Each structure stands twice: as structure tokens, then as C-alpha cells.
Amino acid sequence: MPRGIYIRAKPPWNKGRTGVYSDEALARMGWNNIGRAPSNKGQKLSDEGRAKLSEAHQGQIAWNKGIPQTNETKEKIRESCQKYIPTEEAKKRQSYAQREQGRARRKDFISIPVVTEWRRQVFERDNWTCQFCGQRGGRLEADHIQPKCQRPDLVYVVDNGRTLCRSCHQQTPTYGRKSIGIGVQEFQLPLEVVL
Ligand SMILES: [Zn+2]
């Protein structure tokens, strides 16, 4: 039977009748699981599973393509989307945060393409190995030995960089914005790294 919506003229002959088919007959027709909850009911799909499904469905035409939505459906969609529309206040907050981000970047004298190249050179010199714990690869970060805020002139100097894994980097006293307000001398103290 072609796909589509069929309007039934008279009730089906087996309406309300149970036990018309034996279990074996249902199994023969592959209907023995009809009406039973699937074994994965209520379980969430893993990301991997979702990716697989999405791949399998590539190129498939959505079942509702070309079928116009009723006004009622549109209204429902509009309603359920309301919570995703940022309020005026949220918009203000967001743009303020973005402005701050840009300001901080300029303050740190960071040019993205140049700092990316600097990072690559630091990693390459250190053979992609954490200079504290010796971890090779993984989540590596390039640390400024003399912090950016203290020695902006050394921001792009490869000798002022060292490769650290993320967890070692976080343990340096200059990680993130911790360095602000600390004198340069303090950074030259040997770092104690607890792993
Ligand atoms: Zn490390």
C-alpha cells in the first residue's frame, strides 16, 4: 500500500476482538512484539548512537516534508521556543561579557594568529611534551614563563614559553588571571608541582 493517510470507511472486522491470531501466527507475521514497550524505552541514546542514527538517516526525506503545519502546531512551536529567546537583560549581559572578553584580549596583547604560531613553535621545541610531568600529547598548553601582564614584550618570544599539560599549567601561580598584581620576581621561584 502506498504511504499516506487513509480514511477508513467502516470499522475493521477485528476491532475489539482479541485472540484472533495465536502467538505463533503473530510471530510468523513478525507482529509478536507489537504493542510491547521496546527494550530501550526511556533510555537515552549515547552520543555515538546518535551519530550513527544521524548518519543512517542522511539523505532521507523527513516524514513531514511538504506537509504544511497547522496554525495550532505553529502556535505550540512558538510557545515552546519562548524559553530560548533571550530577554533584553540577557542580551545586554551577553554583549557586555563579549565586550569584556575583547578588552581582556587587547589588554593581554594577544593577537590570535601570532600567538597560535608562537604556541606551535613552543610545542615543537618541547617535542609536544609537558615540561613538568613528561606527558607527551594530550591536552597541552603553552605557558608564558614571564606572564603576559608583566612582560608584554615577551608574549611572542619562544624562549619565554614552555609546554605544560593542562593540569600542570593550572598549578602554576601564573595560570589564567592569577598573575595580575604579583611581582615578576615571584615567578622566578621554583615551582612545586604536586601530581
Ligand atoms: Zn604535566
139-153 pLDDT per residue, tens: 888 998 888 777 878
pTM assigned to the model: 0.39
Contact 170, 157 (CB under 8 A): no
Q: Is the pLDDT of residue 184 over 90?
A: no
Q: Output the CA 135–ligand 1 centroid distance in Å.
A: 6
Cβ neighbours, 10 Å, residue 157: 15
Any bridge partners for residue 165, and if so which? 140
42 pLDDT band, cuts 50/70/90, is confident
Assign 34 a pLDDT band (cuts: 50, 70, 90).
Answer: low
DSSP, residue by residue, 43-91:
PPPPHHHHHHHHHHTTTPPPTTTT-PPPHHHHHHHHHHHGGGSPPHHHH
Q: 79 or 101: which carries more pLDDT confidence?
A: 79
Mean local confidence (pLDDT), 25-31:
75
DSSP class of residue 115 equals: H
Q: How far is the CA of 168 from the centre of ligand 1 (A)?
A: 4
For ligand 1, an ion, list residues with CB under 5 A.
130, 132-133, 135, 165, 168
CA of 132 to the centre of ligand 1 (A): 5
CA 159–ligand 1 middle distance (angstroms)? 19
The predicted structure's pLDDT at residue 5 = 59
Find the 106 Cα to ligand 1 centroid distance in Å. 29
Give 157 Cα–ligand 1 centroid separation in angstroms: 21
Contact between residue 167 and residue 130 where contact means Cβ atoms under 8 Å apart: no
In angstroms, the CA 19 to CA 35 distance is 14
| 129 Cα–ligand 1 center, Å | 8
